[in-house]
Homo-oligomer: A and B are copies of this chain.
Amino acid sequence: MDISFNDIKQKFKGCGLKTTPQRTAIYDALLRSTAHPTAEDLFAQVAPQFPMMSLNTVYYTLGVLRTSGLIHEVNIGHARARFDANLSPHHHLICLGCQAIVDVMDPRLNRLTFPAGIPKDFEITSHQVAFRGLCGSCRRHTERSINHSSPGLHPTTVKGGLHGKSS
């Protein structure tokens, strides 16, 4: 999980990418997170170190890292894109309440049987299982809101406020 500056530099070099402080900070923040942050989450996290940085740079950087295969993009609903530097095959558990995404590393899911009844000329290169439901916090909140109709969002369990739309 932990990775040094030189490791990052080598990875960038291997992909033909320049090692800039901003890019390093963004990739490092993503490597350290398991919360699948959005571009804005990452921006908020690295902005203190780079007061002049623009959100644009985060988008550009994430685009470059994705194209280079160093990160993956995860999509749930039509909320904003979420990013993941964990490249080992894994699956996701998605809370429909707070939009939290939890990694599911169960290796049994990596060996699914080939699906029946699909076009013969379709070439499958990967698969991913998305489990949906409610996290403990949202379950408790929902029960409470049914009983006492408490409105709005509850504080997320994810440090750094990595949740979905706030509307």
Using CB atoms and an 8 Å cutoff, list the residues of chain A in contact with chain B.
Answer: 73, 75-78, 80-81, 91, 93, 95-96, 102, 104-106, 108-109, 112-113, 115-136, 139
Tell me if A129 and B112 are in contact (CB < 8 A).
yes
B-side contacts of A80, CB under 8 Å:
78
Verify A118–B104 contact, CB threshold 8 A. Answer: yes
Task: Report Cα–Cα, A108/B121, bound state, in Å.
Answer: 21
A93 engages B122 (CB within 8 Å): yes
A118 to B108 alpha-carbon distance, docked (Å): 14
Partner of A75, one of B77, B104, B117: B77
User: How near does chain B come to A91, taking the closest CB pair, in angstroms?
Assistant: 7
B residues near A102, Cβ cutoff 8 Å: 118-119, 122
Contact at A115–B130, with CB atoms within 8 Å? Answer: no
Q: Can you pick out 16 interface pairs between chain A and chain B where the beta carbons lie within 8 Å of each other?
A: A75-B75, A78-B78, A78-B81, A91-B115, A95-B122, A102-B119, A105-B116, A106-B116, A109-B115, A121-B136, A123-B133, A123-B134, A123-B139, A124-B133, A129-B129, A129-B130
